[in-house]
Structure 1
C-alpha cells in the first residue's frame, strides 16, 4: 500500500512538471516564444508547392551562359551508414539498408537570427515545406522505413534544410562468378533527382567519415559477404537532350566468405573422389562392384553441380568451383575407363604373351596385372590431390 502511495505521489509531480507552466525555466519559455514567432513569420507567405530551383534560362544554350543567373541549385546526399542485407546471385541483385542525410537550400526559409533571439535552427514537419523527390536509379525495389505522417526536417537560419532517410534498396548488380566461391563483386547504388536537368541541379554525395574504417566495414557485411571497400562519386548521364542529369553513386565492393563452400563441397568432393578411386581399383572386387562405385561417385558429383547451379547466375563464365567438380568427375570417368580397358587388355594380351617365352614378355605380362592397376590408381589419386591443392591455392591467394 505504501509503494502505491509513493508511486502516485511521484506521478503527480511529473504531471505537474509537464502541465504547470510556472515550472519551466524562463529561458526555455523565451525560446518557445521566439520559435513560435519565427515559425509563424517564416511560413506566413511560404508556398510549399513552388520549387526553389532556378530554371529561368534557355536550355538550348551551354551551362553558365547567363552570368547574372545564380549558380545551380545544390543537392547533397550523405551516406551515414550502410548494412548489407542480401546478395541474390541468380537474379544479380544486391539489397542494402541505407541511412542517409539529404540537405538542400531554400532561400525563402532563411531569417535573421538576431530578430528572433538568436534562434538559428528549427524542426518542423516535412509536409510543410517543398522537398525534392530523391529517386533510386536502376533499382528494382525501394522500401522507405520512415513514417509518412511524422517526417521531420531541420531548417537553419541560412535556409539550409536537413532531412534523414532510412531505406532498403534492391539494386541490379552484374555478377562475375568466374572465381566462385572466392569471388568479389562490385555493385553500385545510384540516386537521382528526376525531372530536373543537370543545368538546373548540381548533385553532390559524400560518406560519413566515421564509417570509413575497417571495423565499420566488417559490421556492414553479413555472414556470407564482407564489405571491403566503399566509395562515392557523381556520374553524368546524358540523353543528348534537356533531361541530361547527374547521378549520386555509392559503390560497394564485397568479397564472399568461402569457408562454407570449402567445407561443404570442396573438401567432401576431394574425400569422395579419393575413396572412390581406391574402391574402383580395389583388388579382389568384381567388375560390377567397381562400376557401381564409379557410377555412384558420378551421380554425387552431378548432384553437387545441380545444387550449385541454383546458386549462381546463368552466365557464360564457368565458376571455379564448377571446374573443380567437373575435373573430379572426369577423373572418375577416366578411372572407370581404365579399369574396363585393363580387363580387356589382359584378356587380349595374356594368351599372346604366354606363347612368347621371352623375358620381356614375362615382365610385360606381370606388369599388366596388379602393377598397372596400382600405377593408374596412384596417378589418378595424384590428379585428385593436385586439383584439390589448386583450390587451396586460390583460397590462400584470396585471403
Structure 2
C-alpha cells in the first residue's frame, strides 16, 4: 500500500508547470480559436464522430418524432495544441473548456424543434500532448422520424439522428463516422 502511494505521488503536477504549459500554448503561441487549427490552411481537417445512445425517452408515432439521450465522441487534431512532454514534467494531456479552442460546429441536421450547435460553455475537451482533441457533448436529441404504422403492432421503424458540420465546407473540415 505504501509503495503504491509513493509511486502515485511521483506523478503529481505542480500548478506552476501546468500554468507554464497553458501560457505557452495560449499566450506565447497566440492561440486563436477563429483559425482552423491546422498548419497548412489549404488542407482539410478530419473530424471523426461516434454516437453513444444512453436511452430512448420518447417515440411519438403521430408527431413522427423520436427523443433520445446520448453523447457524441468527436475527435480531431489541433496542430497548435502540441507540446513536448519532457519539457512539462511529463504532462500527457489536459482538460480545457471547449470555448477556449477551435472546435467543429456540430449540429443535429434533422432536429425536431430546434437547430443549435452542440455543447455548452461548461463542457470540457481533452487535449493530448500530440494535439489529439476529444470532445464528448451530451444532449437530449429530438429528431424527425417518418413512420409507417400500416402493420402496427408488427411494424418496424428506422429513425436516423443526423449530425453535420454547419459552417465549414467539406474541403475545409471533413466529418466522418468513426470506423471503430
Report the alpha carbon displacement of residue 180 of structure 1 after superposing the two structures with TM.
0.6
Instruction: Give the unaligned 5+ runs of structure 1.
Output: 1-24, 57-69, 209-399
Alignment partners' CA distance in 1, 2:112 and 2:126: 30
Output the TM-score relative to the length of structure 1: 0.39
Which one of 169, 174, 179 corresponds to residue 197 of structure 1?
169
Any idea what the Cα deviations from partners look like across 1:50-92, whole Å, max 9, x if unmatched?
A: 2226653xxxxxxxxxxxxx4x211111223331111111121
Whether 1:156 and 2:128 are equivalent positions in the alignment is yes
Q: Between Structure 1 and Structure 2, how many residues are aligned?
A: 168
Which one of 74, 93, 96 corresponds to residue 65 of structure 2?
93
Report the alpha carbon displacement of residue 113 of structure 1 after superposing the two structures with TM.
1.1
Output the TM-score relative to the length of structure 2: 0.81
- Verify the 8 A CA contact 1:79 1:207 in the aligned structure 2: no
- Richer in helix (by share): 1
Which one of 167, 186, 202 corresponds to residue 158 of structure 2?
186
Any idea what the Cα deviations from partners look like across 1:175-226, whole Å, max 9, x if unmatched?
A: 1112111111011110000122222222222387xxxxxxxxxxxxxxxxxx
Residue 52 of structure 1 corresponds to 37
Whether 1:40 and 2:23 are equivalent positions in the alignment is yes
Provide the alpha-carbon RMSD of the alignment: 2.5
Whether 1:166 and 2:138 are equivalent positions in the alignment is yes
Matched residue SS, 1:91: coil
Alignment partners' CA distance in 2, 1:147 and 1:200: 21
- Verify the 8 A CA contact 1:35 1:116 in the aligned structure 2: yes
Matches within 5 A, 1:67-216: 70=43, 72-141=44-113, 148-206=120-178
Q: Tell which structure's C-alpha radius of gyration is larger.
A: 1
- Residues 121, 142 of structure 1: CA spacing in aligned structure 2 closer, same or farther, 3 A cutoff? farther
Considering Cα pairs closer than 8 Å and 6+ residues apart, tell me whether 1 or 2 has the greater RCO.
2
- Richer in strand (by share): 2
